[in-house]
Amino acid sequence: MSWLLALPIAIPFVTAVIVYLLRNRALGRWISLAGSLASLAASAALMVAVLRDGVVAAQMGGWPAPFGISLVADYLSAVMVVITAITGLATAVYALGEIEERLERLGYHALFQVLIAGVTGAFLTGDLFNLYVWFEVMLIASFGLLVLGGSKEQLDAGIKYVALNLVSTLVFLSGIGLLYGVTGTLNLADLHGAVAAVEDQALITVIAMMFMVGFGVKAAVFPLFFWLPASYHTPSFAVSAVFAGLLTKVGVYALMRMFTLVFVGDVGFTHEILIWVSALTMLTGVLGAAAQTDFRKILSFHIISQIGYMTLGLALYTPLALMGGVFYLVHHIIVKANLFLVAGVAQKLAGGTDLERIGGLYKSSPLLAALFVVPAFSLAGFPPLSGFWAKFLIVKASIELGEWLIAFVALFVGLLTIFSMTKIWGMAFWKPHPEGIEPTPDRVPARIRVPMMLPIAGLAAMTVLIGFFPEPFVQFAETAAVQLLEPAAYVEAVLGLREARP
Amino acid sequence: MESLTALLVGLLVAASVYLMLARNFLRFLFGLILLSNAANLVIFAAGRMTAGAPALVPEGASVPDGVIGNALPQALVLTAIVIGFGLLAFTLALTFEAYRRLRTLDSDEMRHAEPDEGKTEAGR
């Protein structure tokens, strides 16, 4: 069973080594693509096992838990791993068109694969310190990808991104140290019982806040999001798509894991904070987007506002809300990565991302316009696209709890999202190009255009599919939420049928 | 011993926050290094400090004899030091490159990614 859990992490690492050695040859990019395909197959195999057994766990190196490092996949982990592989494959195809040889020589594909390995590892690990290590793997690869190419904007953005992320990592690391000092264990399943057994629960709450700040920076929640809009619009589009899709979601995933499995002793305090943080995150993100006139900057601020919905699903802490949160997580990764990919094609065709200086895409490239509408309106929550169901679940959960203000904020933010999306639509697609250029698709050679359009069409098809047939996905999210709220199966899979701590 | 380490951690964090509040990015980086060391000390102290022998198993035995020091936090700290070293080396290289290209490390003047809308192009 252990190879099933190790493969989705090992494949990208092996691919990274090979493509680094082949970075000066054209073969490298095809091997990177093959590696992404193999990752998808491995994560699909893991998903099948999880669907069959519920929770799958393996002890690395044969050391029994809680002494060794455990890899665990429950429904949430498994779906995150699969969606990571899908995003990885989509951006690997996209990179065939977008990434120039200059960046490939600098090791683009190797860094990209290490990033995917880091993200996958963070989703699969069942050990707190190991989670820190995966965060660092992910972080160092993202540093490299962000500044690859070395333009002035990228260096400036890199400084801010690196600085704030390192501070958050150190807060997280100190939190790990203190939690180990109080409980004497680092295994997440073991911590579930050990934390509940600590006498001084106030101490645990203090440590919980350190984790909330550390993960909050990664997830870009209010008021810790400043690094995101400073940096996400500067690297190449394939990179910002994979950042936008995956990196902040690792922070959300970590929050969901820690605040359902470990820090549940004082839900009234910690989760109440999360509710207000989520509401403010939604509002500031969407208002920030309204003030921007750059394609990618608008999308960056929308990442922040959407993160609020996901953390809200965790904060409300009911089965329905968590189910909405999980569903939102999956829906958002597909949609947001796709929007950044569309922005890349728009830039290639119309010559920029500044909305004032581009236009005419609807008339000249109707296919791209149609493929933009799908994720854009899904993001805003239009039925019957995936975003509608995601928002519906979250809003319904907050109404059921009588949180009328929160429900209102969630709906209001959806309305403002439509405003931003119609702004992009009106300026980039509808109005004529200010310089009289006709941005027809044949302005870009087919060998670049086709690999860039393929993943956009694929991801848009997934959005429509989830929208029209939400039933299996909602049921999946429901089981994931139940597993999160009742972690007995998770604990048992990791620790075996040991006696629970008194 | 633990309380002395705790005081040292507090001192390091205070110094690092002071440095990180500076506008010069190099000072920020030095603050980050101090903070990184403070975090390592926290883990070390959290594992309890005892005057025990190293956790070595004598030949032929399956458990070490006598009082031994907790080996786990040492392994954790070692990992954290190595990772921290790599990250800080990268950050220093990034800082150098940024200074070479942007000709400044003053964070108020580093506005290339987010240009100040209020100022004119010539004013920057």
ipTM score here?
0.91
On whether any CB of chain A is under 8 Å from the CB of B26, the answer is no
| Number of CB pairs, chain A paired with chain B, less than 8 A apart | 107
On whether any CB of chain A is under 8 Å from the CB of B4, the answer is no
The pLDDT, as a whole number, for residue A211 is: 95
Average pLDDT, chain A: 91
CA-closest candidate to residue A228, choices B113, B35, B19:
B113
Which position has the higher pLDDT, B94 or B54?
B94
Candidates B36, B42, B50: best to mutate against A (most CBs of A within 10 A) is B42
Are A156 and B112 within 8 A, CB to CB? yes
Are A230 and B113 within 8 A, CB to CB? yes
The pLDDT, as a whole number, for residue A499 is: 43
Q: Given B35, B38, B97, which is nearest A155 (Cβ)?
A: B97
Confidence of residue A151 (pLDDT cuts 50, 70, 90): confident
Residue B51 scores a pLDDT above 80: no
Confidence of residue B117 (pLDDT cuts 50, 70, 90): low
The phi and psi torsions of B24 (rounded to 5 degrees) equal -75, 130
Nearest Cα residue in chain A from B75: A129
CA-closest candidate to residue A457, choices A370, A378, A390:
A370
- d(Cα A378, Cα A385) in Å, to the nearest integer? 5
Confidence of residue A500 (pLDDT cuts 50, 70, 90): very low
The domains of chain B, with CATH numbers, are 2-50+70-102 (1.10.287.3510)
Q: Which residues of A touch B39 (CB under 8 A)?
A: 170, 173-174, 177
The pLDDT, as a whole number, for residue A1 is: 59
Nearest Cα residue in chain B from A171: B39
On whether any CB of chain B is under 8 Å from the CB of A168, the answer is no
Name residue, tokens 């926050």. Answer: B17
Residue A169 scores a pLDDT above 50: yes
The phi and psi torsions of A437 (rounded to 5 degrees) equal -75, 145
Are A174 and B102 within 8 A, CB to CB? no
Q: Given A147, A157, A163, which is nearest B28 (Cβ)?
A: A163
- d(Cα A307, Cα A282) in Å, to the nearest integer? 7
Candidates B87, B91, B103, B107: best to mutate against A (most CBs of A within 10 A) is B87
Inter-residue contact A230 to B114 (CB < 8 Å): yes
Over residues A141-147, the mean pLDDT reads: 93
CA-closest candidate to residue A341, choices A463, A221, A217:
A463
Tokens of A19: 């493509």
Cα dihedral angle (A165, A171, A174, A175), rounded to 10 degrees? -120
Any idea what DSSP says for residue A244? I
**Cβ-based burial of B22 (10 A; exposed 0-12, middle 13-18, buried ≥19):** middle
On whether any CB of chain B is under 8 Å from the CB of A61, the answer is no
Residue B118 scores a pLDDT above 60: no
Query: Per DSSP, what are the bridge partners of residue B68?
Result: B53
Are A180 and B43 within 8 A, CB to CB? yes
Inter-residue contact B111 to A155 (CB < 8 Å): no
Q: Given B39, B94, B107, which is nearest A170 (Cβ)?
A: B39
- d(Cα A23, Cα A32) in Å, to the nearest integer? 10
